[in-house]
Structure formats: C-alpha cells, structure tokens
Amino acid sequence: MKKNKTVLMFPGQGSQYKGMGLDYNTVSDKFNDYFNLASDLLNESLYDIIAGINDNSTKLDNTLYSQISIYTLSSVIFDYLFEQKILKKEDIFTISGHSLGDYSALYASGYYSFKDGLKLVKYRGSIMSEANEKMDGMMAAVIGVDYKSLENLLIQYKDKFKEEVYIANYNEYSQLVISGKRSGIEKAIDFLKENKIRKIIPLKVKIASHTPLMKDISLKVGDYLKNIILNEPVFNFFSSTSLIYPKIQEIKSVLENQLISQVNWVNSIEYFLNNEVNIFIEVGPGKVLSGLTKRIAEKNQKEVLIFNSDNPSELSNLKNYLS
C-alpha cells in the first residue's frame, strides 16, 4: 500500500473573512489560550474583531489585524489536527506557507513558540500597516496570462514608461500578481489591457509586497529577528520564496528577504508533486491555496487529495480518509 505524503499549506494575508474559524472555540483546547494571548497583545478582543462585533466590522482587513488573526487561527487549527490525532507526525512530508503563511508554517515546524511567533507577526504587521499609509504602493492580480508572456510585456512597459513593476506572486500558471508604486501599477494595468490582458483585479493593499521596494521594511524585520531564539525543528519547512529547505541558521535570512522576494507557489507545488506528495491540507482560513494547488496538480496530471480546515466539520473527511 502506498504511503501517504502530506504537505501542510498555510495561507497568507487576503484569506481572512468575517467569522472565520470561530467554531473551533467549542472544540479546541488552544483556542482560548491563543486568542487571549493575541487579545492581550492588541489590547482588544481578537474574537470580536474576527466576529465583526460592535465597532470592529472593518478591522479584519487592516494589515495588522488580518496578519495576527490568520496566524492565530492557523496555529489553533494546526494544534487541533494533532490534539485530535487526525494527523500523525510520520504523515507530514513538508510544511510550507504563502507569504505571511511562512510565519504560521514556522510555528508549526517547531522553530518558535506560538507566543514568540505572535510577537513577530505583530511587529511585521505593524510596520507593514505603517508602510501602507506612506508607500502608496499597489498590487493587482493578473488572470489568464502565462508567466513568460507577462514578463515580456512588463519589460516592454518598463522600456516605455520607466516605471518599476514586478511580478510578486507566481500563484498558478495563469494567475500572477504584479506589485509596485500605485502610479506605475495603474499605468501598467492600462498597458496590459491594451495588450489584450482582459482580467486584472486590483488588490486591497497600499503596499508593494514581494518587491525591492520593501527593502527598508525587510531590514527592520531582520533587525527584530536578531532577538529571536530558534528551536530545532520538528518538521521540514519549505520556503516558497527561496525554494529551499532552509537550515536553522538560514531561517532568519529567509524571513528577512521574504518581503523583497517573489512568492513562487507554482514551483513549490511542482516540487511536492514530483516527490509524490498525494495529500495537501490548507491549515487556516479560506480555500485560496487549495484552489491554486488543485489547478497546478491538474496541469501536471497528478491525482491528489486536497482538504480544508475552515471549521472542524470540514476535517471529518480528512479524518475518515486517514483512518
């Protein structure tokens, strides 16, 4: 019988939604502990922010709150998977994340405690939130074009307008994200539409993530990381920006450079598929990574099983399959 190989995927900013994961409140031993720690750090109730109670209805989309919310919930769900013996240590091939998801993935891998990771995410979210107001950056999803074609069009665009626009995320073969200063992205959108790229979706951010424009923030993250003591990991962590299994002494460098590096989800999933991974579990809110992974697997003619963890009931299919 073929042994299961499982990859745990941790989503990034943009996967948050009102009410996400609150059903874990009644089943998870860690829910209250982790949510209370996050609330103490924020000086307000994380539960109320996610639930949209009272004056918290719009806070979840703020960079600081969305990052802390996703990290906290993802950590709760990861612990729940093992508390309930849904997963066994030997089942896990690799743990990986998408952008912010790296921080949840590193907690799950055992590099630091939930609390240390929470402080790190708060710091990252705070400086990114500040940059949101100052940078006037912009990101946009470009749908229906392959990487090489988009790359060639952006070369033409830069030659014509002398504006720096970067491919920030290679999410799927025909779903990419461009990033840069707002003035450059807005002109690039018009240029791409003139070149028959019909579907371009501006994202709700004011920052140019995963480009060289994030250098100052990247350096601040690096300085903060100097005070973090990392543990020997329990699981393998695969970086979707550097496309390596970083050694413990390389983790801080990977995190520092993450914000100026492209997220290469396509090549990450291709690597897992080539290593005969047959189960992917999205650990956290939403189904963004599940959808991307499904399409990448289909393109490579690989049959895989993909499970979500939005709420405890969704994990019953995974539990039934593994048992």
Active site residues: 99, 210
Cα–Cα distance for residue pair 166/263, rounded to 1 Å: 12
Partners of 56 in the β-ladder: none
Q: Using the 8-state DSSP alphabet, how is residue 141 labeled?
A: E
Q: Which two tokens stand for residue 175?
A: 């779903």
CB atoms within 10 A of CB 92: 22
How would DSSP label each residue in 177-246? Answer: EEEEEHHHHHHHHHHHHHTT--EEEE-S-SS-TTSGGGHHHHHHHHHHHTTPPPPPPSS-EE-TTT-S--
CA dihedral 323, 106, 9, 292 (to 10 degrees): -170
- The set of residues, in sequence order, having a beta carbon less than 8 Å from that of 239 and lying 6+ positions away, is 96, 102, 245, 246, 254, 258
C-beta of residue 173 within 8 angstroms of C-beta of residue 295 = yes
- CB atoms near residue 5 (< 10 Å): 17
Which ranges of the chain would DSSP assign to H, the alpha helix? 31-42, 46-51, 63-83, 101-109, 114-135, 147-161, 182-194, 215-225, 251-258, 265-274, 288-299, 315-322
